[in-house]
Structure 1
Amino acid sequence: METVLGNLSRFAEVLAVAHSPWAADWDDAEVSRAFQWAGYLEQLSRRLEGAGSVAARAALRQRLQEQQRLRPRAPPELPRYRDLLLEELGRGGELLCEALLHNPAASAPAFHRAAAWYRSAGSGRTSGGGPEATAALSASLGRAVRVKAATRLLRRAWGSEPPRGSVGVVSETGGQILRERLEERLMMEGRELPERQAAAYEELLQRAVPGGDGEEEPGSFQPLAALLLETTEGNDGSEARARALGWLLGDGRALATLCRALPCSQLAALTARRPAFGRRYLRLLQRWGWALRYDAARAEWAPPSAEEPSWCRLLEHFTALWQGPPPVREAAESELRSLKAADGDFEVPGVSVWTDLLLELAQ
């Protein structure tokens, strides 16, 4: 039993690497070893399916559950590491292929081997073969190829000419790719535990909104912004957009990072399109404004640190809202007047940041 558990942990590590940038270093030999581990799991699953293996299967399930409770959090270098579920043992090859096909960093040998596995599975290798299974596998493979190719092209485009202002063709394509990937996760909901689903959504969206450490790639926030600004006929993509917006509004750090990076005009457009975003955006601007302190020697409002938004940047945010559609401007003006009244309702400059913002915007 201990040997089996150790082997399962090693394959879990293989899967975590297949999801990570380290998959770029896999050569043919390393790819073959990874698929050998997947084959071992599938053989183990078949043995446990036998009528005489009920007790062994129950014992393994119990040990896996105990291991999951005792396991510490995933190491930072392998954030996708997780213990496998008993039901996943027979899907080792599928899990490995899914990781490699959807990882833009995967090496060419890894990607081609995964594609070959899918072609083999679609032609009847798996027990669930048949026309419907073949069509589903072919569609998944086609989506993965498009995502991988488009991701590389978008990175080159963003690296040479980062999009500015309104969402352009490059950004719209990034939003469509993100929506497709979220929709793929939605299609898998019935096959995963709720906590696994939530982790998968969070990882996809975190890739679109990196942590605010100042090292984001050009355009790295554009896919999520494009998805939220996207308009489609009927209900196409509405569930994916709702999931993305819910995650963004529930993660204060991601929201602040996105609002620091996107052009103010784009944030104003998001406010007009998604009122729930606009309400949280105004609250964020309010927090930034309260943090400013008036420097009498320089006669200007100063942030508490260089990392925090400046007075000029805060004014840019409100100017973009002021120039937006009437509902957006009215909401921003109402918010500023309420804040000005709460701060003493002064009319002279240099006393209240909200008074000074209204004076500037009135010019």
Structure 2
Amino acid sequence: MEAVLKNVASTVELLAVAAHSGVVKQWDKQTVYRAFHWCRYCEHIFSRFHSNTAIRRVMEKQLQPTNQSLRDSIPGYSDVSFSDLQWCQHLLLVGLLNNPELPCSILKILFDTRTPVNTSLSEDKDGISLCSHIIQCKSACKLLSPLTAVSDVGADAEVQGEMLMERLGALSNQSRDTCKAEQFLDCVLQGCEGDMQHFCLIITAALLTTDTSQTAARDFLLDWLQSKHGLLQHMCSALPTTLLIDLAKQHQKFRCAHSGVLKKVAADMEYSLSDGEWVQTSINPTLTFQKLTEHFRALFEACPSLRGETEKELNALKISDGDFDVRGLSVWGDLLEAINQ
């Protein structure tokens, strides 16, 4: 029992280091693995002894001097109780995300989404998706809780969106310098290149959070997204219309960016005589003319104030094409007609 008490105390100290110390700058993949290993150990200890009153009392007594020592040496430290050990891995994850000194190499591991759902951490020999099982557990809690409404993005993406906002919040609180936050987002984007659809859902979930303390982080995320035209175009073409409407309603920056993407898609179209339809000329077309029309209609329905200004702009573009009312001569004229049908 003495060894168990010592291990639990050491893990609590580890949690404090992960959340508050600059030492994490030197952490590598194996260090993070060992940290999560010890947290799983503590979760096992809680599961085994939480109903044993005598042992629980001994462990709680052992944690008191550990917490006191950490309070004395670390400003802002919060005590860890025996009950907290049941979600020790979650505490470690949140602590790491909120530590602005955590290197991008570790963030890539935390945010990697490529591991299949049925892969456990013990099977993860290559270091892919270290926290996938935590995300799945939190997602399951969201799905099973009768008091929690899960959004259309899906539970996994919603949990990862919260993780994303926690990290951005920590970086913005540390400094007004945006370089670290940009580096973090670029790092996550690079790590999710194999699953852009899921990353778009993570971004959507982050932007749809309603926590007022994260307003600055959401604004920064929107600014970053506008600078990533390829990602923005993928979002506007691949996401369900219902999610795009929700984003447009909540964020003026997004609805303006969405409108801009749709106009760029239209500008890249040419009329196909053989198909009798407007088609994109790009190598990887994103929207058909019909889908483009549906997106504009949905955007105007969500934001009626945007309709007049956009129609005026489209009409000016039609006039610049010669102001013909013959189908196939101006994408802008045909788009206006289709929208207003």
Q: Give TM-score, length-normalised by structure 2.
A: 0.59
Alignment of 1:130-169 (within 5 A): 130=73, 132=75, 134-135=77-78, 142-145=90-93, 148=131, 150-153=134-137, 166-167=152-153
Which residue identity lines up with residue 272 of structure 2 in the other structure?
D
**Correspondence for 2:304 among 315, 326, 332:** 326
Tell me, yes or no, if structure 1 residue 313 matches structure 2 residue 299: no
CA positional deviation for 1:292: 0.8
For 2:217 and 2:28, locate their aligned partners in 1 and report how far apart those are by CA, in whole Å.
20
For 1:260 and 1:300, locate their aligned partners in 2 and report how far apart those are by CA, in whole Å.
19
CA positional deviation for 1:174: 3.6
**Correspondence for 2:183 among 199, 202, 212:** 199
CA positional deviation for 1:269: 2.9
CA contact (8 A) 1:179 1:241 kept: yes
Q: Which position in structure 2 is the counterpart of 1:244? A: 221
For 2:222 and 2:257, locate their aligned partners in 1 and report how far apart those are by CA, in whole Å.
11
CA positional deviation for 1:98: 8.9
Root-mean-square deviation (CA), in Å? 4.5
Segments of structure 2 that go 5 or more residues without pairing to the other structure are 1-20, 42-62, 98-130, 142-149
Alignment of 1:84-95 (within 5 A): 91-92=22-23, 94-95=24-25
CA contact (8 A) 2:169 2:214 kept: yes
For 2:25 and 2:38, locate their aligned partners in 1 and report how far apart those are by CA, in whole Å.
13
| CA deviations over 1:50-87 (Å, ceiling 9, x no partner) | xxxxxxxxxxxxxxxxxxxxxxxxxxxxxxxxxxxxxx
Tell me, yes or no, if structure 1 residue 269 matches structure 2 residue 246: yes
Which residue identity lines up with residue 25 of structure 2 in the other structure?
L
Q: Which position in structure 2 is the counterpart of 1:179? A: 165
Q: Which position in structure 1 is the counterpart of 2:36? A: 111
| CA deviations over 1:190-237 (Å, ceiling 9, x no partner) | 8xx764454234434x26x944xxx426533122112223334xx421
**Correspondence for 1:349 among 320, 324, 327:** 327
Tell me, yes or no, if structure 1 residue 219 matches structure 2 residue 198: yes
Q: Which position in structure 1 is the counterpart of 2:316? A: 338
Q: Give TM-score, length-normalised by structure 1.
A: 0.56
**Correspondence for 1:189 among 158, 175, 180:** 175
Distance 1:152 1:100, change over 3 A: farther
Q: Which position in structure 2 is the counterpart of 1:86? A: none
For 1:290 and 1:153, locate their aligned partners in 2 and report how far apart those are by CA, in whole Å.
45
For 1:186 and 1:136, locate their aligned partners in 2 and report how far apart those are by CA, in whole Å.
25
Percent identity over paired residues: 24
User: How many positions carry a matched residue from both structures?
Assistant: 256
Which residue identity lines up with residue 132 of structure 1 in the other structure?
P
Segments of structure 1 that go 5 or more residues without pairing to the other structure are 1-89, 158-163
For 1:227 and 1:197, locate their aligned partners in 2 and report how far apart those are by CA, in whole Å.
15
Q: Which position in structure 1 is the counterpart of 2:255? A: 278
Greater mean deviation of Cα atoms: 294-303 or 318-327: 318-327
For 2:76 and 2:89, locate their aligned partners in 1 and report how far apart those are by CA, in whole Å.
12
Q: Secondary structure at the match of 1:231?
A: coil
Distance 1:231 1:134, change over 3 A: closer
